[in-house]
Amino acid sequence: MSEIIVSGMRPTGKLHLGNFHGALKNFVALQDKYKCFFFVADLHALTTAYKHTEDLAANSEQMLIDWLSAGVDPKKAHLFIQSDVPEVSELNTLLGMITPLGWLLRNPIYKDQLNELLARKYAGQLKGDENTPLAERVKGLADEDISVYGFLGYPVLMAVDILIHKAAFVPVGKDQTAHIEIARDLVRRFNEIYGVDNVFVEPKPLYTEIAVMPGLDGHKMSKSYGNTIDLGEDLESVRKKVMTMFTDPNKKRANDPGNPDGCTVYAFHKIYNPDYKTRCAECKAGALGCVACKKQLFELMEPQLKAFADRRKVFESDKAQIQQIIKEGAKAARESAAVTLAQVKRAMKITK
| Under rule CB under 6 A, residue 172 binds ligand TRP | yes
CB 260 within 8 A of CB 284: yes
Q: Which is nearer to ligand TRP, 159 or 305 (CB)?
A: 159
Backbone φ and ψ of 80, nearest 5° = -150, 170
Q: Is 4 helix (H, G, I), strand (E, B) or coil?
A: strand
Q: Which is nearer to ligand TRP, 7 or 92 (CB)?
A: 7
Stretch near ligand TRP under the rule CB under 6 A, chosen from 24-32, 130-138, 168-176, 296-304: 168-176
Residue nearest to ligand TRP (CB): 8
> C-beta of 81: minimal distance to ligand TRP in Å?
12
> C-beta of 82: minimal distance to ligand TRP in Å?
7
Per-residue binding string, ligand TRP, 177-206, x by CB under 6 A, is --x---------------------------
| Under rule CB under 6 A, residue 114 binds ligand TRP | no
Backbone φ and ψ of 10, nearest 5° = -75, 135
CB 259 within 8 A of CB 282: no
| Under rule CB under 6 A, residue 170 binds ligand TRP | yes
Question: Using the rule CB under 6 A, which residue among 146, 162, 182, 242 binds ligand TRP?
Answer: 162
Q: At what angle are helices 264-272 and 290-316 packed, to 10 degrees?
A: 60
Question: Using the rule CB under 6 A, which residue among 14, 111, 143, 176 binds ligand TRP?
Answer: 176
> C-beta of 346: minimal distance to ligand TRP in Å?
24
Distance separating alpha carbons of residues 345 and 194, to the nearest angstrom? 11
Distance separating alpha carbons of residues 39 and 60, to the nearest angstrom? 9
Question: Using the rule CB under 6 A, which residue among 4, 5, 8, 169 binds ligand TRP?
Answer: 8
Q: Which is nearer to ligand TRP, 46 or 325 (CB)?
A: 46
Q: Which residues of 251-290 are buried (b: 16+ CB within 10 A; e: fewer)?
A: beeeeeebebeebbbbbbbbbbbeebeebbebbeeeebbb
CB 67 within 8 A of CB 30: no
Stretch near ligand TRP under the rule CB under 6 A, chosen from 96-104, 169-177, 223-231, 255-263: 169-177
Closest residue by Cα to residue 187 from 177, 201, 168: 201
| Under rule CB under 6 A, residue 6 binds ligand TRP | yes
Stretch near ligand TRP under the rule CB under 6 A, chosen from 67-75, 171-179, 185-193, 233-241: 171-179
Closest residue by Cα to residue 273 from 228, 250, 304: 304
Tell me the C-alpha to C-alpha distance, in Å, between residue 292 and each of 17, 240, 243, 298, 346: 22, 14, 10, 10, 66
> C-beta of 86: minimal distance to ligand TRP in Å?
16
Q: Which is nearer to ligand TRP, 41 or 271 (CB)?
A: 41
Closest residue by Cα to residue 232 from 19, 58, 7: 19
Q: Give the interface with ligand TRP as residue ranges (CB under 6 A).
A: 6-10, 41, 44, 158, 161-162, 170, 172, 176, 179
